[in-house]
Amino acid sequence: MAIDYQQLKNRRFEEVVHTYTARDTMLYALGVGVGHDPLDQGALDFVYEARLKALPTLAGVLAYPGFWLKEPDTGVDWTQVLHADQDIVLHRPLPPEGTVKATTRVDEIIDKGPGKGAFIYSSRTVTDAASGEPLATLTQNTMARGHGGFGGSTAQPPQPQAIPERAAELSCELPTLPQAALIYRLSGDYNPLHADPAVARQGGFERPILHGMCTFGVAGHALLKSCCDYDVGRFHRIKARFSAPVYPGETIRTDIWRLDRGVAFQCRVVERDLVVIDNGFADVG
């Protein structure tokens, strides 16, 4: 398969209108592991309807366009794509329920050369359907392995956030449930790689892996807890690179370094001592 640069760059997307409920907000939070400690009063606010708040990373599943790179008009072999980077900018705290809308667009396709890959940058701004007020802007980088050499942009990808060489100032360990992927997929990502052992083995994994965006949500929870005392009004942005998959049931430790503005962070699976999210940055505080 080959990418047609102009066709993919100018691809038209239908507007997605998405109504979500308090139950959806709580289900998302449970999917990323919030509530594992029933005595954590701050976390309870994201899984209990009495005073419900939405996690900032819930934006990742709002007005989601689906796995559109699987469509034949993209020229992409979907089995060769990896979610490489994610950036979420919050313009205001997300309401715990409501109706939102967004239209996805392809911003750029960077050609890494023949025999190499391509970086496909796409974005969407989620807005309140009634007022038109922007809630969050999401930018995603997807790597299409082996798709280079099609004549796309030769621009350099943005420089990643450097991780300081000094010891982290803060660390937060959070567990994931063995059934975490089966819960998280109910928020809209039904890729069988995260549920079907046979599909996972075909993909080279010993068992189903956790969604990258679920790991991203665990990191968001750690930052919200450690840097914002669960105050969603202090959480403005989170971006990072995905470096390795997580298996449901593993423990994720988020190491945090304070910067002049915001923080840098990195996530590591404790059981395998493996970095799974790297080059993280969050505008918090």
Average pLDDT score, the chain: 95
Work out the pLDDT band at 12, boundaries 50, 70, 90: very high
Tokens 């559109």 correspond to 68
Which secondary structure element, helix H or strand E, spans residue 53, and what is its range? Answer: none
* CA angle centred on 54, ends 176 and 40, rounded to 5°: 55
Chain CA centroid to CA 265, Å: 15
Work out the pLDDT band at 35, boundaries 50, 70, 90: very high
Residues labelled catalytic: 189, 194
Q: What residue ranges do the domains of the chain occupy?
A: 5-284
What does the pLDDT average to over 89-101? 98
**Dihedral of CA 180/184/185/189: which sign?**
negative
pLDDT in the model for residue 155: 87
pLDDT in the model for residue 78: 84
Helical ranges in the chain per DSSP H: 5-9, 22-31, 41-44, 180-184, 197-202, 212-228
What does the pLDDT average to over 188-205? 90
What token pair was written down for 164? Answer: 């300081």
Q: Are 254 and 261 in contact (CB under 8 A)?
A: no
DSSP symbol at 95: P
pLDDT in tens, 140-177: 999 998 899 898 888 888 889 999 999 999 999 999 99
Residues 191, 197, 199, 201: what is their CA dihedral angle, to the nearest 10 degrees?
130
CATH topology of domain 5-284: Thiol Ester Dehydrase; Chain A (3.10.129)
pLDDT in the model for residue 255: 98
What token pair was written down for 134? Answer: 């922007």
**DSSP track, 147-172:** ---SS-B-PPPPPPPPPPSSPPSEEE
- Greater pLDDT, 66 or 59: 59
> Which range (27-36, 67-76, 82-91, 117-126) has the least confidence?
67-76
Q: Does pLDDT of 81 surpass 90?
A: no
Work out the pLDDT band at 214, boundaries 50, 70, 90: very high
Q: Does pLDDT of 1 surpass 80?
A: no
What does the pLDDT average to over 97-116? 95
138 vs 122: CA distance, rounded Å: 8
Give the closest residue to 254 by CA, choosing from 284, 234, 227: 227
pLDDT in the model for residue 79: 82
pLDDT in tens, 218-265: 999 999 999 999 999 999 999 999 999 999 999 999 999 999 999 999
71 vs 90: CA distance, rounded Å: 29
Q: Are 216 and 277 in contact (CB under 8 A)?
A: yes
99 vs 62: CA distance, rounded Å: 9
What token pair was written down for 28? Answer: 């998302």
- Greater pLDDT, 204 or 85: 85
